[in-house]
Amino acid sequence: MQLFVGLGNPGAKYARNRHNIGFMALDEIAAAHGFTPWKSRFQASVAEGRFGSEKVVLIKPETFMNLSGQSVGEAMRFYKLTPDDITVFHDELDLAPGKCRVKQGGGHAGHNGLRSIHAHIGPEYQRIRLGIGHPGHKDAVARYVLNDFAKAEAGWLDDLIRGIADGAPDLAKGDASRFMNAVALRVQPPREKPAKAKPEKPREDTQPEHAEDTRSAMQKLMDKFK
């Protein structure tokens, strides 16, 4: 059994924020794979489903970002799991928009949601880092992550979220490479090879460049004086 945790802030006000991309990923997984309806549990919204024989519980903490670890720790203890059974989907400033990376363990890099999870269960859980880009200056970060995605970003955002849902069964099996391939097929689909141009057929009325002269000697002489 595994826990897939999406990070974000609860409520309609924050639903389309860049900080909520983790929630968006879990919503797409639940919809695409027929998970149960969301219900309140562990101070979170929870949905359950299966990928083959593997049971997966989706968790969206409702404690606000900087207290996310409370619900994650509560759920982990209830199901008697370890950090190795937990995958956290979160926004990543240090990745370009639309990029996705899998990481096992490590620091929280100042992310308040990860910081809280570290405090409650330690750092040895898997993360799915979802690139949202950086505003360019650290003083602009808070406003940037709490603003909605721009309309111009809808294309890559939709591709990324759908790719995550496509690859979720492979992620549950522990196959990070196949998961990343599924995301890449959505974000960067293979280009079709251009069709080879067919050689043009010669026109029927086209005359050879050096046609044979069939005129008689007298005709050639007369043609000179025309």
Residue 167 corresponds to which amino acid?
Answer: G
- How far, in Å, CA of 61 to CA of 45, rounded? 6
Active site residues: 19
Pull the structure tokens for residue 40: 């309140």
Place of tokens 């890559």: 156
> What crossing angle do the helices spanning 176-187 and 154-172 adopt, rounded to 10°?
160
Residue 89: strand pairing partners: 6, 128
Q: Which residues contact 195 (CB under 8 A, 6 or more apart)?
A: none
Phi and psi at residue 149, to the nearest 5°:
-60, 140
- How far, in Å, CA of 118 to CA of 114, rounded? 6
Pull the structure tokens for residue 18: 């860049």
Q: Which residues contact 121 (CB under 8 A, 6 or more apart)?
A: 69, 72, 73, 76, 83, 86
Pull the structure tokens for residue 211: 């046609």
Phi and psi at residue 87, to the nearest 5°:
-125, 125
